[in-house]
Amino acid sequence: MAFPLFLKLSVYLLVLDGLAALALTDTVSPIGLAGAVAAVGLSWEAERLRGRVRDYRRLWDVLTVIFLAYAVLDLAVLAESFVAAIVHLLLFLEVYKLWNLETGRDLLDLLVLTFLQLLAASTMTVSFAFLPIFCLYMLLAMWTLILLHLRQETEAALPDRSQAILAETRLVTARFLATTGGTAAVSLLLTVLIFLAIPRIGRSYLPFQNPAAPLTTGFSERVELGAYGSLQQDATIVMRVSFADSGASRGRVPALSWRGVAFDHFDGRAWSQSDPGRTPVRRLRSDAFLVEAFRPGKPMLAYEVFLEPIGTEVLFAAPRVLTLQTALPAVTMDAAGGLLLLAPPGSRIRYGVVSQPEPPPPAQLRGAGQGYPPAIRARYLQLPDLPPAVHEMAWALTRGAPSPYDAARRVEEHLAATLRYSLDLAPAPGRDPLEEFLAGRQAGNCEYFAAGMAVLLRAAGIPARVVNGFQRGEWNEVGQYFAVRQRDAHSWVEVYFPGAGWVGFDPTPRAAFESSRFGASGRVQQYFDALRMRWNRYVVDYNVGDQAGVAMRLRQQSLTVRRSLQFGWEAGWARLRAGASRGRHLLAAAAALAALGLAGYWLARRRPAIAEGARLWLLWATAQLPPVAFYERMLRLLARRGHARPPSLTAREFADGLAGQPVYEPVRELTALYERVRFGGEPLAPGEVHRAAELLRQLAAR
């Protein structure tokens, strides 16, 4: 491809890549972005247009003045943020440059503008799409920089002939593209290594973010019966949960769920929290918060949660959280044991959790009794005026149950067995929604099931509350984590047992619930999501703790390698000493020597400078033994260059015959040394030996 065309093409691709980076942010509207792309595309022919349109320059001057006026307004009023106003200005400058592209300097300016776009995007997005844009940018920037540099160098060195030379010299060949592509790949690898190695000073805070996304998930901080709907079908991923032991422990807790927030107050239609107070969770170390005490004999589950911004400050975790590790400044707990941040995070957050989700054994729960503390009675037996049918159902279901635990199980099983799970909920005007669910339609979503069970238990004198959170999610085989989607939003019930605390019950028919929620996502989709997860885990959320982990792993591996080498050496040596025959020793030594020789030969072939150095060293060594070895070496070097010494000439005649040749001076000096040694019987002084070696080196280089 022709040099100017390729340079232009790579600059345009770079510009489009910069626009793609901006598209990841909310700083430019889709219409504005489309306009920018169109302006960029049309500018390809701007050079031709420039010659035809009269007052082309003046037209752009007018446009610039208009835009500057707009930019002031944009900065003051229109733009959502300062960064957005700057991005708009960058876009205008880019379009201006493309339509007025004349010199290499303009191309360099465009390169700088695209870099600023990439920089702006990096502060406003954490999207996985940034990765391919970044990689492409690196490749294109490398091409552009190299070609632009060569063009500028040629123009500066050969101003008259630069166009012709650039056109004639076949620079942009397949080999050039492959080499620069390979170099870009190496650069990318280096970038990754440097990225991992740069010390992270301080905490990893979140980027400037676009305002938090609106509450779009099925999760809510208030449960309102009948107000649930199509959101549950949304497959957007809300969070990902990966395990420290690659998910081996997930099998131990089959009914894993991610608890969010619990509700204690029911007004007949909606569940809410009666006590809005929160207490700060005690921080143990810089990043660890102690939530509950360790309960002996129960397995622990360690995992990391990557929570997308869903507009809530609630932190989701498996029940009975022992510790929570996060770089975020503070964690609080509400009256119902929910963990919350001080404010909804603006972007994805990551936290590590250790939980003991396994409930106490049924025998212990059966023996827990009904000695509820007054505070529990006051808050978790509260009920509004309910239709008599609900009370009757509660009485009928729990009558004769030997313990509250058995009563809870009966209610749970009854609801799961007799009612139907459904997402198609038509409101029933004029009728109590709970009564409609339990006795009328007998179908509802998880919130109805949870609310129904909690109300029935409270009506039977058993403290209960409704919990909102997420079901376990879908296991990603590729990335080894649970992907929890919006449609996994779930409600269940927690029942209080004296001495054992709150224990979860889930009255929603499991099979129906799961079949309506878990679609087997394709393998390709899993790959992409795993990539996204890794991007978040190892790029966006990479921190000083990860660096320490990498360093520790490297140290361990180097220790392992060192020990195995040491062991191998000692074992081999012991074998040699113990039983090997003399002949085998000799064979081994010969093989080692041959290997060394081969390696030396290979090295000398590959690096002539090493071979020459070795020759000179040998020469230096031998120059001190036979007095005239250096002269013989000189003759060999000269013979190789076509100046063989005829036998009829004396040394001096031979040297004089070379007058005017480039080799004359070293030859003359070496001949003088030779004559002194040969006929004067005087050995060379150490300084002269060095001088002879230096002269021979000069001779060899000519």
Using CB under 8 A as the criterion, which residues of the chain lie in contact with another protein when the complex forms? 108, 115, 118-119, 122-123, 125-126, 130, 134, 138, 142, 145-146, 148-150, 152-154, 157-158, 165-166, 169, 171, 179, 183, 186-188, 190-192, 194-195, 198, 200-207, 539-543, 608, 656, 659-660, 662, 665, 701-702
Query: Minimum distance between the CB of residue 125 and another protein, rounded to whole angstroms?
Result: 8
Query: Minimum distance between the CB of residue 170 and another protein, rounded to whole angstroms?
Result: 8
Complex with another protein: residue 60 or 115, whichever CB lies closer: 115
C-alpha dihedral sign at 597, 600, 602, 605: negative
Complex with another protein: residue 123 or 246, whichever CB lies closer: 123
Q: In whole angstroms, what is the distance from residue 445 CA to residue 224 CA?
A: 12
Complex with another protein: residue 103 or 191, whichever CB lies closer: 191
- 239 forms beta bridges with 307, 484
Complex with another protein: residue 105 or 252, whichever CB lies closer: 105
Query: Minimum distance between the CB of residue 382 and another protein, rounded to whole angstroms?
Result: 45
Identify whether the C-beta of residue 390 lies closer than 8 Å to the C-beta of residue 438: yes
Complex with another protein: residue 109 or 224, whichever CB lies closer: 109
Query: Minimum distance between the CB of residue 662 and another protein, rounded to whole angstroms?
Result: 6
Complex with another protein: residue 163 or 525, whichever CB lies closer: 163
Q: Under 8 Å CB-to-CB from 99, ≥6 apart: which residues? A: 39, 43, 46, 60
To which residue do tokens 């529990």 refer?
376
Q: Under 8 Å CB-to-CB from 604, ≥6 apart: which residues? A: 610, 611, 614
Query: Minimum distance between the CB of residue 87 and another protein, rounded to whole angstroms?
Result: 16
Coil, strand or helix: which one is 259?
A: strand
Identify whether the C-beta of residue 696 lies closer than 8 Å to the C-beta of residue 634: yes
Query: Minimum distance between the CB of residue 47 and another protein, rounded to whole angstroms?
Result: 24
Q: Among residues 256, 261, 220, which one has the least CA distance to residue 241? A: 256
Query: Minimum distance between the CB of residue 551 and another protein, rounded to whole angstroms?
Result: 17
Identify whether the C-beta of residue 305 lies closer than 8 Å to the C-beta of residue 317: yes
Cα distances (Å, whole numbers) of residue 434 to 262, 276, 465, 565: 19, 25, 15, 72
Query: Minimum distance between the CB of residue 153 and another protein, rounded to whole angstroms?
Result: 5
Q: In whole angstroms, what is the distance from residue 207 CA to residue 7 CA?
A: 34
Q: In whole angstroms, what is the distance from residue 594 CA to residue 600 CA?
A: 10
Complex with another protein: residue 134 or 620, whichever CB lies closer: 134
Identify whether the C-beta of residue 204 lies closer than 8 Å to the C-beta of residue 195: no
To which residue do tokens 């041959």 refer?
594
Complex with another protein: residue 196 or 227, whichever CB lies closer: 196
Q: Residue 501 corresponds to which tokens in the numbers above?
A: 């605390």
Query: Minimum distance between the CB of residue 509 and another protein, rounded to whole angstroms?
Result: 44
Complex with another protein: residue 451 or 699, whichever CB lies closer: 699
Torsion angle of the four alpha carbons 444, 449, 455, 459, in this order, in degrees rounded to the nearest 10: 100
Q: In whole angstroms, what is the distance from residue 574 CA to residue 510 CA?
A: 65
To which residue do tokens 């552009």 refer?
144
Strand 420-421 relative to strand 443-444: parallel, antiparallel, unpaired?
parallel
Complex with another protein: residue 192 or 554, whichever CB lies closer: 192
Query: Minimum distance between the CB of residue 134 and another protein, rounded to whole angstroms?
Result: 7
Q: In whole angstroms, what is the distance from residue 308 CA to residue 526 CA?
A: 18
